[in-house]
Structure 1
Amino acid sequence: MKKFILISVMLLSLSAIGQTPKEVKMNAFVSNLMKKMTLDEKIGQLNLLIPGWGIPTGAVVSTDVEKKIKEGKVGGLFGITGVEKIKQAQKIASEQTRLKIPLLFGLDVIHGYKTTFPIPLGLSSSWDMNIIEQSARIAAIEATADGLNWTFSPMVDIARDPRWGRIAEGAGEDPYLGSQIAKAMVKGYQGNDLSKNNTMMACVKHFALYGAAEAGRDYNTTDMSRIRMYNEYLPPYKAAIEAGAGSVMSSFNEIDGVPATGNKWLLTDLLRKQWGFKGFVVSDYTSVNEMTNHGMGDLQTVSALALNAGLDMDMVGEGFLTTLKKSLQEGKTTQKQIDEACRRILEAKYKLGLFDDPFRYIDETKPAKEILTAQRRAETREIAAHTFVLLKNNNQVLPLKKSGIIALIGPLANDKNNMLGTWAVSGNPELSVPVLEGMKNVGGSAVNILYAKGANLSDDTLFAKKVNVFGTRIDIDKRSPEEMLNEAIETANKSDIVVVVVGEASEMSGEAASLTDIKIPDSQKKLIRALAKTGKPVVLVVMSGRPLALTEENDLASSVLLTWHAGLEAGNAIADV
């Protein structure tokens, strides 16, 4: 008996080698919990849903969510905000299910929560890791105050084709800069202790090579050598893993002809064996199901393929939920693989402190104290001012003098709807500060500002309909283009200097927003040409979610300031500089 006990202690000691006391405690807790779980409950932990009462970020919305939670068939929800809604769902999971396992609550908190910061491409232009980390820290404080504990960020895809719309969400083309930003964002979200109720789990995405889609066409295939992969595209993902990112999201594209969501070399050999990643991997929105379009098989086949490759959580598609049990019975997957995936989800919940207190992120008093405060707005205003890029400044026209008459012209000069930028799902455009308001705030009574719209962002009604999928972004004026242009010229002639605010609507970049032409739309080009002919100095302020081809505009303007989409305090920040 003594010999048996000694051997048991030795085995336990060997298994704990290299683990911290916290990890040993976590493993014991999770192992004990899993012994109580049925197969259906384990598979349920691998199911991530978006309820119909959430913020839609895809074409599919989950059904019977409350019923599935009660049955232990849901591991997490995303796309919902607000303490009351999250509390309601968590209450069902932690009080009305057999084992009372709490839920994860995620959201695309990409560049701020309610206090929206400049788009990530804009933040990267600052080259300032301190303010980038600060933006993620503030986003985490706000999001967790509203009950969330998981963000689908940072997006660290290297992108070198500006036609690709999602270039707006990353750090651009440089792997060194992208790696530094990846680390800063993870640190900002997760802090030094994930169990604190103002930190949230990061999810580095889209793993991998999503930004190298051929011809800049979103969701297109990716084909590259391992040399380029390791040297130019993989470093930011690795940096995020080394910084401690708790989760990873698979990408839609293929790698070596195999979709990333079902690619074992990517999710297991590289991510886990080479890089030592210990967290969990979640699919992108229905990316398990979409492998059928790649000819990988029916839903049962691709679900087993994904699990066997190293995917742990199925977003929205419910292929895991509806087919894994059958695949196990047919020998197409194993109990060990299901257990490993379930363990990783449970470990994430343990690290977040949800087993100690499922409601640790739910405090009805926090939103008013932490979200959209005057301090938060001041912080995003200051950060935005560091992200602008001065492309040209002949005769030191900028900064403008706080005197005289300024003609402020352009479709983006007094437009709240396009200040936040793409993927600001929890932001409110109506609270944003447009340039006209900002210039009045900063200029004061000493400056006379004359405003004219001058042109539509685009005169193409079909294009406008596509861009306006999440609300009006391209507002086509009831007046004719000629009438608006004449008003702009008259306004310019009355001024000492002309400031023209042009560029892209926020949803002209982002997901499913690839463009073949990255020049400013013709409606705005006509406006810039006409204003240049007035002979007044022309300052061009360009808002965009991608680098634009500005050859003609550069020749016509005295100064060119690229501000990207600068977020909630865009107008004030632009006026500040």
Structure 2
Amino acid sequence: MSASTCGGCKSGQYLCPSDQQTCVDGADSYHLCPNLKGTHLDAILTVEERVDYVIAHTSLDEQVAQLSNNAPAIPHLGIPMYQWLNDDVHGVGHAGPNATILPNGCGMEATWSKEEARLSTNGAGITIYGPNLNLVRDPRWGRGQETFGECPGLTGELVVSWVTGAQANKPREALGPDGGPLLSGLCCKHFAAYDQNKAVEFSANVSARSMWETYMPAFQRCVVEAQATHVMCSYNSLLGEPTCGNEDLLTDILRDQWNFTGFVVSDYDAWTAMQGYLSDSMVDVAAQGLNAGLDQEGGGTEAIDNITIAISQGKTTTEKVETAFRRSLRIRIRLGMFDPPGEVPYDSIDESALQSAENIEVNRAAALASMTLLKNDNQALPLVPENSSSIAVIGVQATMAGLLVGNYAEQAADNNWGDSVLAAIEARLDADVAYAPGCATSDCNSTLGFEEALKVSQNAETIIVMLGLAANSMGGEVDGPSDEREGHDRTAIKLPGFQGELVKELRAASPGKKLIGVLLHGGTLALGNAKEQLDGILTAWYPGIEGANAIAATLFGDSNPAGRSASTWYRSTSVLPDAWLEGSMDESDGNGITYRFIKDQSVVDFPFGWGLSYTTFHYSDLTVEKNVKQIDPCESITLSVTVANVRDLDGEEVVQVYLKLPDATVETTLVRLVSFKRVMIKSGDSARVGLKIMPQAMAVIYDDEESDPYNDTRHMESGLLQLFVGGGQPGYVDTQHVEVDVTDTALLSSCDIGGA
């Protein structure tokens, strides 16, 4: 039946996309639609055959128009418009009231759990601008909260799980379950060396060593192992050339070295932002981006609107346009967007299921897994109160549920942000709890509320004080300026405003009482005297809409914390290297940038990898598989260690392996994480934990003044490997160690090992 003759399809009927006229009896009758065979709508054809059909049946103008993140419809082919823009820092950022907001990147990193990363992104959305793979080189960076921390190794491991969990593909496989459509398409961003606020004006003048020791490994794993569908180039320049117009980066590395077949999208208006840097002419800028390997304009269409002019002037070609369109079209087909209804996983998901009981449980599990216990003097935690009257909660943050979600969490006005911390504590105790805001606003810019806070705490045996930062750039519940966000870096890392003074006065007025600090933040903080004045410190990061319940469960012992910090906590702003603010990328500046280069441990309050438990773990019997003492340069190493839970409480331990290279002939890290595993061990039990270390985790970079930073010169070098195993970094916690010799030196890319 023709829709044009009957005025549209009847209720229950399905309008065939092949001609936009024929109606069939529901989606189950899709196969009866005319003109399916041999077209892009024919699911029997290969991806490339379907792409070829669309290319052959579209004009140059139609193809150019598709090079936008707001791709218009192509009506004569039955191709609907598609909006690629979906930020996903911790759930879909541009979402409606049913969105499930997970812990922010800083919270997910603290789980140190590949399984948690995989579960938490399953079913996140169709195409997503995430994850953020940039590394935190300085805690002041406003976007650090979005990332997985300061370690390339940890970031790479979590990214593979995050991306494959969302896309539902296996590592190194481009399709979804049983060779079918992907569940979603993920984006590795921001490529590359992007970690500063003044990003458009900033040129990352990196060495070959910094490029391949720090910036490239996680992106390579995202592209090669996780098979992410797209990559986002960043606002900054790299070695003086904007990344979105950098052929060495977008073609030589991505396409030629890593065999990337997805598409590259610019950060929002980053393509047009090249005007004035590459050229004053937008026609030149449009051509430069396309020629370099940029496929899609993020933001508006000002750049792509000039592409046909650039072609007419001989500055680019129709073949470049076709190639760029092929890359994004290929992803739409891999996602099943043109497949029969009912055969695509996301077709059957009802919007109301997005905040279902099952998804809420995944959210809560992720929030619980991220809870990180920094201090617990005299077993101040967990709390086991005899009655609710013995507890006081201080801090305006305790009543602001929106503060728990962090950055990039734009929601509908009627969104349920979840419970506040105060409400969750009262629900846990089934009683009202004494409360005072302490400060009028979350940034605590005055002491006007101190008197009430001291009065409320007088009758309490335990005082819980909420501290930390506020961050939300997209409509969340922040009662003043955000402390950290995109476009705003902190100038100092101390507790905001008078928060430190509030802790000091509470401590002075409450001698002998338990004083527990709960922190909300992304970037790490210098706690100053509050570190000593607080008996217990629990950091919750930005834990999402189930964060309040996770905080309450952890405070009262319903859950044993096992989060580990993925960033260093410095003692003060003064110990941070000024080089970061000046644009230097030298990791060895000053005291060293990140845990891998810190020369003086006295500048650290809590190290990378730090986190306590309510139970105690004992390590013993560290061995190398088959008692190997020497390995060839392309070989991996497998360690085994026994970890025993020696107290009467079940708990999870994060077993960490660190490497030192005393025989390295080139400059390299002082220490680095090379493997880890989060394991549950019952009270009184022990587990034999195996940990594999790949050659790429142990490599050094051969770099001199003649080295091309775009050339991967990672080598597995002959000499001694010192491996330390424990619940944290050597020098901060007790560890066991073994030594293994590498017999020879080899270029890593010559080894048949895959990955990054």
- TM-score w.r.t. length of structure 1: 0.79
After TM superposition, the structure 1 stretch with the greater mean CA deviation from structure 2, 418-427 or 338-347, is 418-427
1:430 is displaced (CA, Å) by 3.7
Name 1:450's counterpart in structure 2. Answer: 434
Q: After superposition, where does 1:337-486 map in structure 2 within 5 Å?
A: 337-357=320-340, 366-368=350-352, 370-404=353-387, 405-426=390-411, 430-445=416-431, 449-455=433-439, 456-458=441-443, 481-486=446-451
Q: Deviations over 1:348-391 (max 9, x none)?
A: 111111122589688697112x2112222222112111112111
Distance 1:176 1:39, change over 3 A: same
Who is 2:470 aligned against? 505
Partner of 1:231: 213
Taking the TM superposition and a 5 Å limit, the aligned residue runs for 1:33-44 are 33-44=54-65
Q: Is contact 1:102-1:349 (8 Å) kept?
A: no
In terms of fraction of residues, the more strand-rich structure is 2
Give, in whole Å, the separation in 2 of the partners of 1:260 and 1:504.
Answer: 32
Q: Give the Å deviation of 1:101.
A: 2.3
Letter in 2 for 1:492: S
* Cα shift at 1:189: 1.1
For 1:532 and 1:325, locate their aligned partners in 2 and report how far apart those are by CA, in whole Å: 69
The 5 A counterparts of 1:109-508 are 109-113=88-92, 114-138=99-123, 140=124, 143=125, 149-192=126-169, 193-194=175-176, 199-211=183-195, 213=196, 217-219=198-200, 220-242=202-224, 243-357=226-340, 366-368=350-352, 370-404=353-387, 405-426=390-411, 430-445=416-431, 449-455=433-439, 456-458=441-443, 481-507=446-472, 508=483
Shift, 1:218, TM fit: 4.6
Q: Which residue matches 1:560?
A: 537
1:30-80 deviations in whole A, cap 9, x for unaligned? 11221121110110111223xxxxxxxxxxxxxxxxxxxxxxxx35xxxxx
| 3-state SS, counterpart of residue 498 of structure 1 | strand
Q: Which of the pair is proportionally richer in helix?
A: 1
SS of the residue corresponding to residue 287 of structure 2 reads helix
Tell me which stretches of 4 or more aligned residues in structure 1 moved more than 6 Å.
Answer: 195-198
Deviations 1:258-303 (A, max 9, x none): 0101010000001100111011111110001111143533221111
Asked if the contact 1:201/1:247 (under 8 Å) is kept, the reply is yes
**Alpha carbons 2:310, 2:316 under 8 Å: kept:** yes
User: How far apart are the structure 1 equivalents of 2:258 and 2:204?
Assistant: 22
Which of 60, 67, 76 does residue 98 from structure 1 map onto? 76
Equivalent residue, structure 2, for 1:19: none
Assess if the C-alpha contact under 8 Å between 2:118 and 2:165 holds in 1.
yes
Cα contact 2:130–2:189 (8 A) shared by 1: yes
Encode CA deviations 1:308-344: one digit per residue, 9 max, x unaligned: 0000001123134311101001100012111110111
Corresponding letter in the other structure for 1:226: A
Q: CA deviation at 1:27?
A: 1.4
Which amino acid in 2 is paired with 1:230?
W
Question: Which of these two proteins has the greater Rg computed from alpha carbons?
Answer: 2
The DSSP-based 3-state class of the residue aligned with 2:122 is helix
Find the aligned partners of 1:518 and 1:217 in 2 and give their Cα distance. 19
User: Residue 303 of structure 1 aligns to which amino acid in structure 2?
Assistant: A
Q: Percent identity?
A: 31
How many pairs align? 480
Q: Which deviations, in whole Å up to 9, do the C-alpha atoms of 1:218-269 show, x marking residues without a partner? A: 5433221011111111111111102110111111110010010101000000
The aligned amino acid for 2:208 is: R
Please say if residues 43 and 320 of structure 1, whose CA atoms lie closer than 8 Å, have aligned partners that are also in contact: no
Amino acid at match of 1:510: R
Cα distance 1:509–1:499, how it changes in 2: closer, same or farther (>3 A)?
A: same
Q: Note the residue ranges of structure 1 that are not aligned, 5 or more in a row.
A: 1-21, 50-73, 76-92, 144-148, 461-480
Residue of structure 2 in register with 1:525 after alignment = 500
Query: Which one-letter code corresponds to 1:524 in the other structure?
Result: Q
Partner of 1:506: helix, strand, or coil? coil
Distance 1:325 1:358 in 2: 36
Asked whether the 8 Å contact 2:117–2:158 carries over to 1, the reply is yes
Q: Describe the superposition over 1:84-143 as per-residue Cα deviations: whole angstroms up to 9, x where unpaired.
A: xxxxxxxxx36xx233323333311221241111111111111011011111114x2xx3
Paired with 1:411 and 1:115, the residues of 2 have a C-alpha distance of: 24
Q: CA separation in 2, counterparts of 1:198 and 1:34?
A: 22
Cα-Cα RMSD:
2.3
Q: SS of 2:391's equivalent?
A: strand
Structure-1 separation of matches of 2:101 and 2:462: 31
Tell me the alpha carbon deviations over residues 381-433 of structure 1, each in whole angstroms, 9 at most, x when there is no partner: 12111112111111101111132411100121111221111112347764321
Gaps of 5+ in 2: 1-42, 93-98, 170-174, 473-482, 555-756
How much has 1:523 moved relative to structure 2?
2.6
Mapped partners of 1:101, 1:229: distance in 2: 40
Report the equivalent of 1:473: none
> AA paired with 2:90?
H
Pair 152,36 (structure 1): closer, same or farther in 2 beyond 3 Å? same
Q: Please name the residue that 2:672 is paired with.
A: none
Deviations 1:192-240 (A, max 9, x none): 24496881100110111112x3xx6554332210111111111111111
Q: Classify the secondary structure of the residue corresponding to 2:489.
A: coil
| Structure-1 separation of matches of 2:426 and 2:182 | 36
* Match status 1:32 vs 2:32: no
Mapping of residues 41-120 of structure 1, within 5 Å? 41-49=62-70, 74-75=71-72, 93=73, 97-106=75-84, 107-113=86-92, 114-120=99-105
Residue of structure 1 in register with 2:605 after alignment? none
CA distance in structure 2 between the partners assigned to 1:444 and 1:432 by the alignment? 18
Supply the distance in 1 between the matched residues of 2:270 and 2:455 (Cα, whole angstroms).
53
* 2:395 and 2:466 in contact (8 A); partners too: yes
